Structure 1
Amino acid sequence: MFGRRRTTGEWPADWDRLTRGIGCGMCRSGRPESDEHGLRIYASECTDAYLQRAGVQRGYTIVIWRGRHVTEPTELDAAEARAYGNDVLTVARALLAHYEPLKMNYETLGNSLPHLHTHLVPRYRDDPFPGRPFPLGSHDGPPVPEERLQAEATALRPLLTSRREF
């Protein structure tokens, strides 16, 4: 999402600039309702969550920090960290309730685009990689059909309307 896929074992040439937020695709994108990557299903003061169009896994969602540019969660102050963590858990709970996976993976990576975001990857009985981390990017199937994506987003949004504090 918002990054470049590389096949070499090198960090992006502009890594230092990106970590400072210069040219960051997530910062530049604003807070769209929809883009080429997904549909926004949740928005709070500090995050947006997007149900992904990529055919990676049913319910695959990314929660993006929308405060100032940070690369690591350790750059957040205590209140920001609580808010971010609460939002990630709020979205995960909705995904768990709707999709009923066996397990949820929480992946805060930022290796291709250094902007704080968390991948939520539901894991199912028919999972292609049971018992192992889900290899994001290496198992993309065809995009989720638009009609199905819209229906799933519509079903998820009511589960996200009453934000719970933890």
Structure 2
Amino acid sequence: MTLRWPENWDRLTSGEDCDFCKNMGHDRNRWGARIFLGKYVDAYLQSADVQPGYTLAIWKQRHIVEPIELADEESAGYWLETMTVARALMAYYQPLKMNYETLGNTSPHLHTHLLPRYMEDPRPGQPFPLLAQKGREPQIPEERFLIEVNGLQAMLL
């Protein structure tokens, strides 16, 4: 069986079918809750119980696919704001390591997965076994999730 890119790849890369473009700008969306709103980045703590602190830093200015599409000032702003969020995650969760994944193979809109890594980890010393979320993943208990969201938001003000 040969794997293929999605049939609507052109519509995804053009922004026409982009889930990020459709779901950004809200305090809460189907993936999680906003913990940071910057000039360039909208960052969402993920509610799926994948890994404590798993966050998406999403480019918010317009639909683009690749970081090379950014002007120098935009690139600097995107990465500075993404690092601001990463620093807060490091301070709040105190992981051993932070992974930064900017892939865009499933959702071709510039975004970076911030994945804290811990002593108790599914693949210590290797890439995190991250799969595209389908909406059926176990969720973080709401009370704990809101405590984490509020704590991170307070750090990022």
Question: Which residue number corresponds to residue 93 of structure 2?
Answer: 99
User: What does residue 164 of structure 1 align with?
Assistant: none
Distance 1:92 1:77 in 2: 22
From 7, 22, 26, the counterpart of 2:20: 26
- Post-superposition offset of 1:30: 3.6
- Hey, what does 1:87 align to over in structure 2? 81
Q: Which runs of 5+ in 1 are unaligned?
A: 1-7, 162-166
Q: 1:53 to 1:110 in 2, by over 3 A?
A: same
1:116 to 110, 118, 134: 110
Residue 33 of structure 1: how far off its partner (Å): 0.2
How far did residue 17 of structure 1 move?
2.1
Given candidates 131, 139, 144, the residue that maps to 2:125 is 131
Match for residue 140 of structure 2 among 140, 144, 149: 144
Give a deviation string over 1:17-71, Cα, whole Å, max 9, x none: 2111122111122401001210100001221100001111000000110011100
SS state of the match for residue 149, structure 2? Answer: helix
Where does structure 2 lack aligned partners over 5 or more consecutive residues? none
Number of residues of Structure 1 aligned to a counterpart in Structure 2: 154
Answer yes or no: is the 8 Å Cα contact 2:48–2:137 preserved in 1: yes
2:38 aligns to what? Answer: 44
Q: 2:119, 2:16 → 1: CA distance?
A: 41
User: Secondary structure in 2 aligned to 1:48?
Assistant: strand
Change (3 A) 1:18 1:103: same
- Residue 63 of structure 2 aligns with an amino acid whose one-letter code is H
Q: Is the 8 A contact 2:32 2:47 kept in 1?
A: yes
